[in-house]
Every structure is written in C-alpha cells, then in structure tokens.
Amino acid sequence: MDILVLGGTRFVGLHIVKAFVAAGHQVTVLTRGQAQVGLPAGVEHLIGDRDNGPAGLAALGQRHWDVCADVSAYQPRQVRASTGALQGRVGHYVFVSTGSVYAEQDRAVLTEDGPLLPAYPGEAAEVTFETYGSLKVACEALVQNAFPGAFTILRPQLLVGPYDYSARYSYWPDRAARGGRVLAPGDGQDFFQVIDVRDHARFAVTVAEQRVCGIFNVAGPRLLWREFLQALGVQDVRWASVSALEALNVSIYDFPGFIPRVNFQSGLMNVDHSAALAAGLRLTSPAHTAHDTRAWSQHVTRDYPLTPQLEAEILERLDTVEPCVGRIEAPIS
C-alpha cells in the first residue's frame, strides 16, 4: 500500500514508519522538518505544517494514498486541515489519540465506551495537563466525521521504548542497571501498565492493512509494581509508602509511571485492551521492553528528578519515618 504518515521522525511516528516499511509498504511522511532523525531507506520526506492551513499542506499536491496515519496532531485546526485536504484522496484514516480522553480516569477499568472529556471548543490551545485530553477528543470527532466507516482511532496508554526522550519510563531500566538498593514507591501492590511503542506501531499497520474501523485502547500487560521490578531484574528494593514520601517532602511524580491504586487517575493503570488483542495487537514481554529500552537509553544523556544522590539521601532518612518492609523476591525468569 501507499502510506502517508503525518509526523514520522520522532518516537511514536518513527516507529510507525519503520513498521510500515518492514511490512513492505511504500511510505511518505509529512513533517515540519524540525527533527533530524534518519528515516528508513526509500521513505519519501515532504515538508509542511498543518498550522498554516491548506497552504501548509501544499507539498501533498493532489496525490492519493491508501492510508493516512496521523501521528502528530494535537490541535483541532491541524486535524481539520488534514482531513479536509485528504477527503477523497485517502482510503482509510488512522488517528493516534490518547488514553487521556477519558473523563472518569478513576474508574476500576477504562474501556472504549467510557465517558469522554468535553471536546475542546476552540481550534487550538496550549497543550497542558488540563487541555490535552479535551483537545484530542475534539480531534477524534473531526476524524470520525470526515471519514465515516473508514477510520481507526488508537488510544494508547503510556507509550515506552527506544527513542523516548521524555524519560517517563527509561528511568527504571537505567536504575536497575546501576544496581544496589532501589527506592520504589508504594508497597509493590500498586499497578503498572504501559505499551511498547513497537507493539503500538505494528498494531497500526495491522488495522491499516485490514481497514479495521473503530476505536481501540492500546495497552500492554497489567503488572503489580513488584512484578515490574522483578522483570527489570531488581533484587533489592526499599518500598516507600506515599505517606512516608510525603513526610520527607518527596513527590510521587519523581517516580515515573507510578500512580497509586487509590488515585484520581488509577484507571490509567487498568486500561482494557481486549478489543485490540482481538483485532491483532501482539504484546512484547515487559522484560524485553525494558532490555531494549536500556540498550538505547544507555547511550543517551539525560537528567532524572531522582538523582543517585537524592535517592541515597531518601533511603538514609526513610527508616526514621517508616520501618523497612523487606526485599523483593527473586526475579521473574
């Protein structure tokens, strides 16, 4: 197939481009030209900016594609521009949204039919914690209206893996590789759920090839935190309850990916992915995701909020506010 990818030189988009190429398809990407990342051989790279309306899409000409994979839209005006330009010229529209569209994120389980946040009423806004989900809700509606019966909306949970410069997940494989006693939040019984970006990319190819119309949560295995650290190979952990961390003026947000099991966003760690599995989503093992992320991350320089020095200071002070609850069991084989 001839595939158009809107965005495709950074993390999620780059993996989607690679997955389409690996599946034997011809890929064209349209980006603003800001990210300098090597694309696979044979991929055509066009420059454009949907924020400039129809003029920003002039590089597309009047060409046709079998499928458009829209990875880079955050604003309704961007989706309005691309869907308007591509109606009648694209057979199927795959839109990468987010699990943050759900209104009741404290639900026990987040399913595709759960209530959504109100759609953002304007054409654009600064992307913040408060606006992100609503902006994506508005974008989803535009896609569905422009391509009835010929759309797929992907709602990924926390995407992780190589090329993720956000450091939302890589802290943990990097920390495990450093060895020693690992400071971890909670008691090991909270939940951890992410999706390997490569699994998400391969699923995008599957729904595109099969022209699957619908909305899918895209999430990986749901683990206990104890199981997650075991998958990383951690053998010595010091658990710290939320109350103990608060007593030491330590934020739980210094621990990437941690959401307590009683929290206004706890449902984000119980995202139902059964529909995606039935449609062809295949999941990489947590240990494999961690291994590959570490293989990439060890060559990348970044700063984590929880530095080795700060972790050592917290570990030293922790016994004064909370007794040690023991070590982790042997790693998962």
Residue 150 phi/psi, 5-degree rounding, is -140, 40
- Asked if the model's pLDDT at residue 88 lies above 70, the reply is yes
Q: Which residues pair with 75 in a beta bridge?
A: none
Domain boundaries, the chain: 2-156, 171-192+221-269+285-318
The answer to whether 244 touches 182, Cβ cutoff 8 Å, is: no
**For the domain 2-156, what is the CATH code?**
3.40.50.720
Question: Minimal CA–CA distance to 266: which of 158, 109, 159, 128?
Answer: 109
Residues 91/67, Cβ–Cβ less than 8 Å: yes
Report the alpha-carbon distance of residue 147 to residue 319 in Å, rounded: 58
**pLDDT band, very low/low/confident/very high, at 332 (cuts 50, 70, 90):** very low
pTM attached to this predicted model: 0.94
3-state helix, strand, coil in the chain (%, to 5): 35, 20, 45
**Buried/exposed code over 263-294 (b: 16+ C-beta within 10 A; e: otherwise):** beebbbbbbbbebbeeeebebbebbebbbbbb
- CATH fold for domain 171-192+221-269+285-318: UDP-galactose 4-epimerase; domain 1 (3.90.25)
- For the chain, where are the E strands, in sequence order? 2-6, 26-31, 44-47, 65-70, 90-96, 151-156, 159-160, 182-185, 191-193, 195-196, 214-218, 222-224, 237-240
Contact 8, 16 (CB under 8 A): yes
Question: In the structure, what pLDDT confidence band is assigned to residue 62 with cuts at 50, 70 and 90?
Answer: very high
Query: Across all residues in the chain, what is the average pLDDT?
Result: 94
Task: Let me know: does 157 contact 265? Beta carbons within 8 Å.
Answer: no
Mean pLDDT computed over 95-112: 96
- pLDDT-derived band at 36 (thresholds 50, 70, 90) equals low
pLDDT tops 80 at residue 3:
yes
Is 325's pLDDT higher than 60? Answer: no
Confidence at residue 168, expressed as pLDDT on a 0 to 100 scale = 87
Specify the pLDDT at position 142: 98
Model pLDDT, residue 214: 98
Arithmetic mean of pLDDT, 246-273: 95
Q: Which of 175, 187, 288, 276 is nearest to 231 (CA)?
A: 288
